Structure 1
Amino acid sequence: MPEAKKLKFLFAINPISGGQDKSTWESGILSFFEKQPHSANLFILDGKNDDKELPKLIESYQPDRLVAVGGDGTIKFVAEHALTANLPMGILPAGSANGMAKELGIPSTLEESLEVVVNGVEKPIDLIGINGTEHCLHLSDIGMNAQLVKYFEEGKMRGKLGYARGVLRVLMRRRLLRIQVNTGNEVVHRAAFMVVLANARMYGTGAVINPDGDVADGKFEVVVIRKLSLLAIFRMFIHFRPFDPKHIEIFPATSVHIITKRKAYFQIDGEYRGRIREITAEIAPGLLRVLLPENTSV
């Protein structure tokens, strides 16, 4: 029998994702590969020159697979570079919010997720192109949750306490948005607290926003949250329960153009992007190749 190909893995590690030290992840990766015929190289993200340094390392090291070690923000960053380099991407869920990893059925432990990175199957998933400049892997939204992301990024507290403080600020400042949603098939006008562009089902916290979401079905959903009581906010942001379906509308789409009457908070995959009045989004079917467990339903 021919010898199995020896693969080169490049791990892009966010050392502070989730507010936790990643030195045990680094040593665990190196220890795991001591027993493998494959080789591993570690790149530690510093948040300063990563956009320049990571492509240089990809060019010089010529990996067969690029692996994100961190949360949803890290995964989004690494995915853009995997697309540019035409590489399949692996995921080690090491963040505070691991929504995409949960969505894809990737195990939460280091050893099990490494097994998927090395021995899993390569499958294509959809992305949402945003304004022709970047991609959404998971969930983007306008309104209250994006406002919460902004407050959390600005705050000095992390973990549940910082999250709860952000929720309180959002509660005190929540305002209805006047929006126009054009899916190409229909144009609707609504008053809403949030509008979500959903490629997946749930946020990293576990809050289900789009029960029928599928990252590989060739479409996404525009979720319009029209009514939001204090109880509903508490259930979503604290207990991570689904919204009452009577208070939301879901529009399946392959493209959408959204206009807001006034500037609104906007985030993509957990990264705040400022205040906007207009968004164009379009599905990119099967654009990203991801390493997944063999029994995944994706």
Structure 2
Amino acid sequence: MKQRILFIVNPISGGLNKISIPTLIDENLDLDKFDAEIIYTDFPHHAKQLASEGLAQNFDIVAAVGGDGTINEVADVLESSGKIMAIVPCGSGNGLARTLGVPLNTAKAIARINNLNFTAIDVGLLNDKKFFNMAGMGFDAHISAHFANSKKRGFFGYLKSTLKEVSSYRPQHYKIHIGDKKLSVDAFMLSLANSSQYGNNAHISPTASLKDGLLDICIIKPFPLKVFPILGWRMFSKTAHKSKYVDIIKANDFSVLRQTDGPVHVDGEPLNMGETLNVSVKKLALNIII
């Protein structure tokens, strides 16, 4: 019997035109193996609703065609379901796709599904919100909120927002509780890494693993502004963990207390949360094609 696959397409992710998606599916998906349906999102968080409907209709595979936000919405529904997820990356950073080795070329990403080569990966939780690539607070959450309101998408839009905001942003104080261990730190940002990178091959924690049942707590300590380009270079050269301004702790269940409520991000999508943030991991809970 053929596998039933639902493609959920975000038509505006990454500022890329998706008009060719149906043709690319016809040309690159093995239609002797799969019965494919395509549906488009119409509004924010629609992908989650469509994925829930796909699960109820017993699709074998649900493919997210979009960026990390679209992937998060679909994965949120599919984790722990036993069904398989696929990614056709069309976002600004494509962090999870890059980590999994999914081709960034749309045709090749669709063709990769034909192999049905999948693995199980960990799922992070920040309070009640799931994340699959990266979550955090501090400067990266501030930029995610700023970027969400920007009309300019893609890597250069993100870079422009970062350069505009970095000189005025001030570090915050955090208390991190891991079992009986308590840390008190000032941090420019606090990143919770399930994979090693934010996206665009900017690796904040090169040793992070999607399959170890742990998150990497990346503490980026306050630094002189002149060091910012060097930290950027370190991320792209996979040496951020060697900087004296970066501490990394691995844990699977911990809490973070900050001085006020405010912005966080889950897989790049900005949210507001309270002062106390509880973080945990569901090990190997999402089946995903690699």
1:182 corresponding residue in structure 2 = 177
1:213 corresponding residue in structure 2 = 208
Q: After the TM superposition, which residues 98-117 of structure 1 pair with which residues of structure 2 at under 5 Å, given as runs?
A: 98-117=94-113
Q: Which amino acid aligns with 1:178?
A: H
Supply the distance in 1 between the matched residues of 2:214 and 2:65 (Cα, whole angstroms): 27
Q: After the TM superposition, which residues 16-165 of structure 1 pair with which residues of structure 2 at under 5 Å, given as runs?
A: 16-33=12-29, 35-47=31-43, 49-60=46-57, 62-83=58-79, 85-131=81-127, 133-165=128-160
Cα 1:239–1:164, aligned 2, differ >3 Å: closer, same or farther?
Answer: farther
Alignment check: 8 A CA contact 1:143 1:264 kept? no
Cα 1:114–1:51, aligned 2, differ >3 Å: closer, same or farther?
Answer: closer
Cα 1:164–1:214, aligned 2, differ >3 Å: closer, same or farther?
Answer: closer
Q: After the TM superposition, which residues 127-276 of structure 1 pair with which residues of structure 2 at under 5 Å, given as runs?
A: 127-131=123-127, 133-236=128-231, 241=236, 242-243=239-240, 245-274=243-272, 276=274
- Kindly state the Cα deviation for residue 272 of structure 1 after the two structures are TM-superposed: 0.2
- Kindly state the Cα deviation for residue 275 of structure 1 after the two structures are TM-superposed: 5.1
- Kindly state the Cα deviation for residue 260 of structure 1 after the two structures are TM-superposed: 0.7
Alignment check: 8 A CA contact 1:266 1:276 kept? no
Query: Structure 2 regions of 5+ residues with no counterpart?
Result: none
Comparing 34-43 with 86-95, greater Cα deviation is found at 34-43
* 3-state SS in 2 of match to 1:164: helix
Query: Structure 1 regions of 5+ residues with no counterpart?
Result: 293-298
Alignment check: 8 A CA contact 1:167 1:237 kept? no
Supply the distance in 1 between the matched residues of 2:54 and 2:175 (Cα, whole angstroms): 44
Alignment check: 8 A CA contact 1:227 1:248 kept? no
Cα 1:50–1:198, aligned 2, differ >3 Å: closer, same or farther?
Answer: closer
Q: Which amino acid aligns with 1:42?
A: I
Alignment check: 8 A CA contact 1:148 1:170 kept? yes
- Kindly state the Cα deviation for residue 217 of structure 1 after the two structures are TM-superposed: 0.8
Supply the distance in 2 between the matched residues of 1:75 and 1:270 (Cα, whole angstroms): 11
State the TM-score, normalizing by the size of structure 1. Answer: 0.88
Alignment deviations for residues 9-67 of structure 1 (CA, whole Å, 9 cap, x no partner): 1111111111011111232013334753321000111125544444234433x211111
Supply the distance in 2 between the matched residues of 1:236 and 1:24 (Cα, whole angstroms): 38
Q: Which amino acid aligns with 1:110?
A: T
1:295 corresponding residue in structure 2 = none
Supply the distance in 2 between the matched residues of 1:139 and 1:240 (Cα, whole angstroms): 15
Question: Aligned pairs, how many?
Answer: 286
* 3-state SS in 2 of match to 1:285: strand
* 3-state SS in 1 of match to 2:259: strand
RMSD between aligned residues: 2.1
Please point out which of 266, 284, 287 is paired with 1:286: 284
Alignment check: 8 A CA contact 2:8 2:40 kept? yes
Alignment check: 8 A CA contact 1:223 1:248 kept? yes
- Kindly state the Cα deviation for residue 164 of structure 1 after the two structures are TM-superposed: 3.5
Q: Which amino acid aligns with 2:40?
A: I
Cα 1:239–1:178, aligned 2, differ >3 Å: closer, same or farther?
Answer: closer
Q: Which amino acid aligns with 1:129?
A: L
State the TM-score, normalizing by the size of structure 2. Answer: 0.90
- Kindly state the Cα deviation for residue 112 of structure 1 after the two structures are TM-superposed: 2.3
Alignment check: 8 A CA contact 1:33 1:39 kept? no
Q: Which amino acid aligns with 1:267?
A: H
Cα 1:70–1:235, aligned 2, differ >3 Å: closer, same or farther?
Answer: farther
- Kindly state the Cα deviation for residue 219 of structure 1 after the two structures are TM-superposed: 0.9
- Kindly state the Cα deviation for residue 276 of structure 1 after the two structures are TM-superposed: 3.5
Alignment check: 8 A CA contact 1:177 1:262 kept? no
Q: Which amino acid aligns with 2:215?
A: F
Cα 1:74–1:212, aligned 2, differ >3 Å: closer, same or farther?
Answer: same
